[in-house]
Each structure stands twice: as structure tokens, then as C-alpha cells.
Structure 1
């Protein structure tokens, strides 16, 4: 299997997709900026390095997730992300 590299927001967010015994995941890096993402499956986002400030669907307050912390976004939702330092993440799909 070849690794698929994805690029979003004019190369400000890049990820590499993989499939293994745990399922389908992406490992990526977000540059400083504000982003809105949409989901097609449930996503488990874990911060690997740095931190992400996230506005989850249905919420009114932004929450910050640091290294080792995970948040979940259900399928067919949108969520906002603010990045104030370059941050690495792991996203697992269900």
C-alpha cells in the first residue's frame, strides 16, 4: 500500500493516510491559523504535539486540547479549529 498525502487550506494542513489493524487513520500537521473541517465519519482527534483550540458541533465555547488529549466529532458535522503554534495530530476514523 502506498501512503496518501493530503493537503488542505493552501498547504497549511497536511496529513498522511494509513490503514492498519486499528483501522483507517491520518497523521498530520496544522500550521498556525483558523480552520473549519467537515466530517464524513466519526473522528477521534488526538493531539500529538502542541495544542488545538476547538469549537465542537453544538457548543458555544472553544475548548483547548493539549498533547495526549482526544476529542470526538460525530459523522456529518463541522467543527472549528484555532492553531496558535504548529501542531501535530492523529485522527482515527470509524
Structure 2
């Protein structure tokens, strides 16, 4: 899907890591939520209360669950899932565009 229709987008951006990661929230009529964002090259640690699906639209990164030894590479067109109530790490190689879906 290349666009979302009939959604609400709050004007305020979500800004993390001194502006190196920026996203906007997209709210759907059914109550679901996604964020669309861009990450600059760098290393990041995120925590999440809800399960997430991270779809990489362009760019590339490596990710792992905190404490896990293995890194998994993900490139544009691929996605990965993060379980609820977890912490995950990302090493972003180049500017990366993403869509994060919060799963019920």
C-alpha cells in the first residue's frame, strides 16, 4: 500500500535521539496506529509496550533484541516484528525510511 486514506495525522512530530530519528503518527478510523519515519545513520535503542511490525521502505539496518547476540540485516522492502514489552537495538547504515505498525 503506497498511501493511507481517511486517516488523522497529528501535526506534532515524534523526535528522538537529537533529531536523528523523526516520525509522524497516523491514526486510523478503526483505532489502529502507525508511525511513518526516517532514521539517520547511527545506533539506537528502543523500547516498546506494544508489539510492532517495522516495515523498511528504503535504506537498510541491522537489528536485534537487546541481549541477543545475533544481528539481522533488513533492507528496503523487508520487515521484522518486535514483541510487546521489549527492548530492541538498531544499527542504521544509511538514511532509512520506515513504517511502524502497532499490533494488537
TM-score using structure 2 length = 0.83
Indicate the residue corresponding to 1:68 in structure 2. 77
How many correspondences in the alignment? Answer: 94
What secondary structure sits across from 1:10 in the alignment?
Answer: helix
Bigger drift between 28-37 and 55-64 goes to: 55-64
What secondary structure sits across from 1:59 in the alignment?
Answer: coil
Once the two structures are superposed, residues 40-90 of structure 1 have per-residue CA deviations (whole angstroms, 9 ceiling, x without a partner) of 100000000101110135631101011111100111100000011000000
The structure richer in strand per residue is 1
What runs of 5+ residues in structure 1 fail to find an aligned partner? none
The equivalent position to 2:33 in structure 1, one of 18, 24, 29, is 24
| RCO higher in structure (CA 8 A, sep ≥6) | 1
Check if 1:7 corresponds to 2:28: no
Question: Would you identify which runs of 4 or more consecutive aligned residues in structure 1 move more than 4 Å?
Answer: none
- The answer (yes or no) to whether the contact 1:57–1:73 under 8 Å persists in 2 is no
What runs of 5+ residues in structure 2 fail to find an aligned partner? 1-7
Q: 2: distance between equivalents of 1:24 and 1:44?
A: 11
- The answer (yes or no) to whether the contact 1:46–1:68 under 8 Å persists in 2 is yes
Q: 1: distance between equivalents of 2:60 and 2:67?
A: 21
Q: Highest CA radius of gyration, 1 or 2?
A: 2
TM-score using structure 1 length = 0.91
Q: 2: distance between equivalents of 1:84 and 1:57?
A: 19
